[in-house]
């Protein structure tokens, strides 16, 4: 079964716009697409370490204070 549904990301959680026909505790695989349809990662793949990526994400310049 495949579903396409919109959601809002708030405080570390995805809030779905509609109920979905899933069992409680059922695992799913998600693919996230920005609603604009524009793939911001096109042509860019991170080749560094997870530590380096975390450092960049947590940089004071972006206003993020912790990872979700």
User: How many whole angstroms separate alpha carbon 66 and alpha carbon 68?
Assistant: 6
pLDDT of residue 25: 92
Using an 8 Å Cβ cutoff, are 5 and 17 in contact?
A: yes
pLDDT of residue 38: 52
User: How many whole angstroms separate alpha carbon 17 and alpha carbon 24?
Assistant: 17
pLDDT of residue 12: 86
**pLDDT (tens digit per residue) in 21-50:** 889 999 988 888 776 655 555 556 777 888
For the segment 5-33, the average pLDDT, to the nearest whole number, is 87
Indicate the pLDDT class of residue 18, thresholds 50, 70 and 90. confident
pLDDT of residue 36: 66
User: How many whole angstroms separate alpha carbon 22 and alpha carbon 31?
Assistant: 17
């Amino acid at each position: 079964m495949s579903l396409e549904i919109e959601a809002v990301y708030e405080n570390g959680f995805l809030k779905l716009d509609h109920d979905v026909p899933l069992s409680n505790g059922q695992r799913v695989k998600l693919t996230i697409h920005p609603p604009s349809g524009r793939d911001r990662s096109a042509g860019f793949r991170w080749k560094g370490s997870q530590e380096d990526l975390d450092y960049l994400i947590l940089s004071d310049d972006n206003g993020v204070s912790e990872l979700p």
